[in-house]
């Protein structure tokens, strides 16, 4: 990783692919990833890690399934949310959004348990920017 500051707007302008996170830097054993998103991701869960979301542009919705039932949290620009480990979730952005995520390095973008991955979702551990 670079020892220079990272301009997130410039980094986002370097790619067009949706649901295909780019690793902008690392903090200890965690990736800091950015992604452009639109439409729906896939229902999935990360068994061993929480997942941190920060909305940089637009609005992100995260549908959640847990012991209580199903609900959706709505994150406007500048909002953060942490999906607890083991909770099934499906991010979506009907109008499109840009997000930043913290995840342990090597974490799959479709989690440990997931539905069939549609063609518009990149099942990856992140791409170098």
pLDDT tens sequence across 62-118 = 999 988 899 999 999 999 999 999 999 999 999 999 999 999 999 999 888 888 888
Given this model, what pLDDT does residue 74 score? 98
CATH number of the domain bearing residue 85: 2.60.120.10
State which residues form the domain around 27.
8-122
% helix, strand, coil for the chain, step of 5: 5, 50, 45
Predicted TM-score of the model (pTM): 0.93
Residue 127 lies in a domain: no
Instruction: Identify the weakest region by mean pLDDT among 55-59, 72-76, 118-122.
Output: 118-122
Domain count across the chain = 1
Residue 100 lies in a domain: yes
| pLDDT at position 53 over 90 | yes
Residue 2 lies in a domain: no
1 falls in which pLDDT band (50, 70, 90)? low
Given this model, what pLDDT does residue 67 score? 86
Given this model, what pLDDT does residue 66 score? 86
CA distance 119 to 37: 14
- Round the average pLDDT of the chain to a whole number and report it: 95
| pLDDT at position 2 over 80 | no
């Amino acid at each position: 990783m670079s020892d220079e500051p990272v301009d997130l707007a410039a980094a986002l302008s370097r790619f067009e692919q949706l649901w295909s996170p780019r690793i902008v830097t690392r903090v200890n054993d965690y990736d800091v990833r950015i992604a452009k998103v639109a439409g729906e991701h896939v229902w999935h869960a990360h068994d061993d890690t929480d997942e941190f979301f920060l909305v940089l542009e637009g609005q992100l919705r995260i549908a959640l399934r847990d012991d209580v039932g199903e609900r959706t949290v709505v994150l406007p620009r500048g909002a953060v949310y942490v999906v607890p480990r083991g909770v099934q979730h499906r991010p979506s952005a009907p109008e499109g959004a840009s997000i930043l995520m913290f995840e342990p390095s090597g974490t799959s973008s479709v989690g440990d348990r997931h539905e069939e991955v549609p063609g518009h979702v990149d099942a990856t551990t992140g791409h170098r920017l």
